Structure formats: C-alpha cells, structure tokens
Copies of this chain bind each other. A is one copy, B any other.
Amino acid sequence: MSENKSRTGISSITPGEIRIRGYNIVELMGRKSFAEVAYLVLKGQLPTDAEGKMMDAILTSSVDHGVTPPSSLAARTVISGGNPLNAAVAGGILTIGDTHGGAIEQCARLLQNYAPKIGEPSEVAAELLADLKTQKMRMPGFGHRLHKTDPRTVRLFGMADELMFSGNHQTLAKAIETMFKEQGKSLPINVDGAIAAVISDMDFDWRLGKGFFIISRTVGLIAHANEELAREKPMRELGISDYIYDGPPPQKLED
C-alpha cells in the first residue's frame, strides 16, 4: 500500500496548526489579501505587491457577466429545481468548458508554446496562425459576441504596463491582434485572451488557466443562485434571451 500513499505539497495540517505552502494560515489572515493567498496556493510562493495587485484585477475582471452566460443559467436552473447552493454552483462550474471560459487555458497553452520561439513577434504570430490554419482551428481568446473592444482587456494590459508585467506573451498576443486587423478581421483580444497573456507573463502554467476564471466567476454564480432563490418561483421556465436589469443605477467609484 505504500505506493498508494498520497503526497501533497499544498498544506500541512497538524492539531492546532494549518500551514499553506509553509505559511501559518493565521499569519496570512489579516496580513495578506485573499488574492495574494490564492496566488500562494496556486504558485507555491507569495506574490510581490505588484503581482498581488495584478491577481486582484484578474480575479475581478471575470466576476460576473449577467444572466446570459451558460454558467449563470445552469446555476439558476439547478437551484430552481430545489437543490442546495453548492449543487447550483457546481452546475454552473460544469458549463465552464472549451467554449465558455476555456479559452484562457487554450490561449495560454499556445502563447506559452510559441512565445519562446526566436524571431520578430509578427513572424511568430504568423507561424502560430499558419499552424492553426493547418489544423483547422481558430485562435482562442480573440473576438467577443458583444464587446467590439473588451474594456477588461484594455484595463488588464494597462495595469500590466504600469506594474511592469508586460512580457513576450502579451507582445505575441498583441502581434496576433495586429495581424488579424491587417487581414481585415475584427478579432480583438477578449478578456480570456488577456488573462491568458498576463498569467503567462507571470509564469503560471497554462493548465491552471481555467482556474482563474472559475475562482472569479464562482462569486457571480453564488449571487445568481441566491437571487433566483430570493425572487423567483421554483421550476419556472428559465430562458436567457430576454431579461431586464433592475439593480442599482450607474455609480461612480469614489476615490
């Protein structure tokens, strides 16, 4: 049985003490933000202040996108069937696949495979797009059904510049966007592509890509499930093509 013995490098738990990647959880509480702790758990080391800020912005960027995404619909549908909150959130997270949130993982994998190649960014971008064409695949993380320019991309890339995180993955992503534009295609980097590029420049493994989206959107899913429970009758006919926003009016964030 010894060969089955689990090994883990995430936490060590002893009576009265919980250590996360070596740090006492009690010391982390109150001194590190949750985003910094999430970085620690996923990366194995604490972030710098700049990395922590970037992490906060990444997690904020995908926190919610209304009732229309599949994940909101599924979470509402599960709770509407008379199930507990955790089942509703699980139902929502189940939808986060290749065509919903999954682009982060796929885009990060491509960027991490091609960015290290030698050559001008435009040449590497051309090679990547040619390879995808051969495989009859589309470039994930570009284009959005609603947003012509994704405001979250602009903000993430702006923060990455300010905090000095822009590296060759972001450069490659921008070169791909330029190439699309030259080909007359309107396929701007969307929020999935932007997160993929930034986490790649922060040296996260692409296999964790979907994880950032999941952590972030879980918050929105809880709110949707709770709103459905509080406001609607069980087992109503759920549809997403038509809805009304009746929350707070636009507000300015005070300094």
A-to-B contact residues, CB < 8 Å: 1, 4-13, 15-35, 37-38, 41-42, 44, 46, 53, 55-57, 59-61, 63-68, 70-71, 73-74, 77-78, 80-91, 93-102, 105, 146-149, 151-152, 154-156, 159, 205, 207-208, 210-211, 214-216, 218-220, 222-224, 226-227, 229-231, 234-253
Contact = CB atoms under 8 A, between A and B. Distances in A.
- Looking at A27, A60, A159, the one whose CB has the most chain B CB atoms below 10 A away is A60
Given A25-B61, A241-B1, A97 B77 contact: no
A253 B28 contact: yes
Contact of A66 (B11, B156, B240, B245): B11
Given A21-B247, A71-B81, A83-B95, 4 more contacts: A6-B239, A34-B59, A38-B219, A207-B229
Contact of A64 (B20, B95, B159): B20
Instruction: Tell me the interface secondary structure of chain A in the complex.
Output: mixed
Which 8 interchain pairs have the tightest Cβ spacing?
Answer: A82-B98, A9-B247, A239-B239, A22-B248, A83-B97, A82-B97, A6-B243, A82-B99
A66 B13 contact: yes
Given A25-B60, A94-B90, A151-B16, A5 B83 contact: no
A108 B83 CA distance: 19
A42 B8 contact: no
Contact of A11 (B65, B94, B97): B65
Contacts of A7: 231, 243-246
B63 A25 contact: yes
A81 B70 contact: yes
15 contacts: A7-B243, A12-B66, A30-B56, A41-B223, A42-B223, A44-B248, A68-B237, A78-B97, A84-B87, A86-B97, A86-B214, A90-B93, A205-B226, A215-B215, A238-B240
Contacts of A156: 29
Contacts of A241: 1, 4, 237, 239
A87 B82 CA distance: 12
A13 B155 contact: no
Contacts of A85: 105, 207-208, 210-211, 214
Contact of A246 (B9, B102, B151): B9
